Amino acid sequence: MELKDIILDYKNRYQLSNKEIAQQFHVTHITVGRWLRGEVKTIQEETAQNMSRVLGYDVQSVLQGTAITLKKPVLGMAKAGYDMFLENDYLGEESVSLEEYQRGDYFLKVEGDSMINAGIVDGSYIYVHQCETVKNGDIALIRIGDEVTIKRYYKDRTKVELVAENPTVEPRVFTSKEAEMLPVKVIGKVLFVKHYL
């Protein structure tokens, strides 16, 4: 991975201006522009340390092509069912690749079997990108009032439908008005699931 790729990913992920990036990395916005154009391919040690602190991984190792292990937190339990609440406890960390590190935000341990046909089983870990919108059919982490669930999400002008991946679990359908009142809100997109034997 090149320096320009690291900076571009960070800029796009957090919707930052060159000036904001410059402030965080303690360089000028002109330097950030040169990085983004690929005019500069190496950085000074002090700058690398600042970048590593902000990004959460060893930038020099990535630039040198050295394999690095990165960690994301397991922030609690998510229920693959209904009428259950998200438990917000730190349960440890899971290893991820650099690409996964840049795409997602945290893991949740799954309880329940409503998403079993999607490979999301009781005791597995889902990796979540925190967001407020997903495409129709995406598997999402959804808040329904105080309850949190993992389901396939479908929305049109008149309704929101949450569909399980288990034939014994009925879909839940909310009118647009009900979805607004409760509320029914996407709080993350499930990127992948991890299983341990």
CB 70 within 8 A of CB 96: yes
CB 47 within 8 A of CB 60: no
Active-site hit among 79, 109, 151, 189? 151
Measured CA to CA, the distance from residue 146 to residue 42 in angstroms comes to: 48
Active-site hit among 72, 109, 114, 189? 114
Note if 151 is an active site residue: yes
- Give the full edge-to-edge strand order of the sheet including 87-96: 87-96, 70-79, 106-111, 125-129, 184-194, 139-144, 147-155, 159-163, 172-175
Side-chain-side CA neighbours of 6 within 13 Å: the count stands at 27
Please name the residue that has the structure tokens 């020099």. 60
Note if 71 is an active site residue: no
Q: 124: which residues sit within 8 A by CB, 6+ positions away?
A: 109, 110, 193, 194, 195, 196
- Please list the active-site residues: 114, 151
